[in-house]
Amino acid sequence: MSASSTNGSELPPATTVEPGLYRHYKGGWYEVIDTVRCSETLQSMTLYRALYDSFGLWVRPASMFLELGVFQGQQQARFTRHDASSVALTDLAGATALVAYLQSCAQRCSMDLDTALRAAPPVPTGCCGRGCSGCLWEGYFAALQFWRDDACALLSHPWPPLNAHATRFP
């Protein structure tokens, strides 16, 4: 069946991927935005964006996004969903992804977290790399945890109430 032969009521059921924060088995962080269809095949596709580098948009067949397989020698999911409120804050890649994800959620709610809450803590730039007790990275991750908790609370119960078209925090 091609897209041109359907009138919209004959669409096959879609395989959907829940919007949210995901981590690829190789370690990259992604935000699933929505499930869309290929205009030529009507195949369910997952629309997602990288939460690193240029933050590019990507599509992948939903069934492939959700698949379990043998990756790096072990049976595991290609992508694993994570709750933003409980992501371990232990590395810069995860921290950067979390901030970008929460800011994206706020934008979908017509909210600017820098204004509605406060800016996320700045990433440290002066670490000596010797693993000092009280390292500035420990302070950064602690401050980021407070910011994350406040951002998640704000996104869960925004005030004023969202309009009917805004998407709530997943």
Say if residues 133 and 74 touch (Cβ distance below 8 Å): no
Tell me, yes or no, whether 40 and 54 share the same domain: yes
Among 59, 82, 105, where does a domain finish? 82
Say if residues 75 and 69 touch (Cβ distance below 8 Å): yes
Tell me, yes or no, whether 31 and 70 share the same domain: yes
What per-residue confidence (pLDDT) applies to 162? 47
| Structural domain of 120 | 85-156
Domain count across the chain: 2
Among 34, 54, 82, where does a domain finish? 82
Span 95-114, pLDDT tens digits = 999 999 999 999 998 899 99
Structure-block tokens of residue 168: 């709530």
CATH of the domain at 59: 2.30.30.320
Tell me, yes or no, whether 108 and 41 share the same domain: no
Residue 169 lies in a domain: no
Each residue's pLDDT, cut to its tens digit, for the chain (170 residues) gives 444 455 556 788 899 999 999 999 999 999 999 999 999 999 999 999 999 999 999 999 999 999 998 888 999 999 999 999 999 999 999 999 999 999 999 999 889 999 999 999 999 988 887 878 878 899 999 999 999 999 999 999 765 554 444 455 55
Beginning with the edge strand found earlier in the chain, give each strand of the sheet holding 57-61 in spatial order.
57-61, 44-50, 29-37, 20-24, 79-82
Q: What is the DSSP letter of 72?
A: T
